[in-house]
Amino acid sequence: MPEKSAIARAKRDAKEGKAPTTQAGEFVREEIRHVREGKHGVRSAKQAIAIGLSKARKAGVDLPPPPNTPQETAHSRRHSATPSAKRAAATTHVLRQESKTSVSKAALSQQGHESAAKRTAEQRSQSAKKAAQTRKRNKLQQTS
């Protein structure tokens, strides 16, 4: 269950009109903090991000379903019963045994570089244009 502070920050982002991915970032940050504090471990930085995004979806952030998930599976999973106590305990037990170093600054940086390298020139260009628009909008808001 996500912490109330993460939910509040995500709601604030939504109220400010920020993208769902920005709202979900609050849950990912929370998950990384949990691993660093030693609450549980993760096998990789990607797993920490996936757990955070899953929590965001459960909290109501309007994110698309995970890639390679059939639509009916995503729908039924969203509306299914909560997992049994036995399964939840098993998941927690396994996560506690995993490494805590997989969300170090170096590991997160490496994961970011790897995912950025997979992007096409068109995607990079689109993202740069969007960033320029955001900077322009923020600059106008500051002057007025």
Whole-angstrom distance, CA of residue 18 vs CA of residue 32 = 21
Handedness of CA 138, 140, 143, 144 (dihedral sign): negative
Cα of 103 vs its chain's centroid, Å: 13
SS3 content of the chain, % helix, strand, coil (to 5): 70, 0, 30
Instruction: Say if residue 75's pLDDT is above 70.
Output: no
**Which residue do the tokens 């305990």 mark?**
89
CB 30 within 8 A of CB 106: no
Q: Give the residue-averaged pLDDT of 67-74.
A: 71
Boundaries of every domain in the chain: 1-72, 104-144
pTM score of the predicted model = 0.75
Q: What is the pLDDT of residues 90-130, one digit of tens each?
A: 988 888 888 888 999 999 999 999 999 999 999 999 999 99
- 118 three-class SS: coil
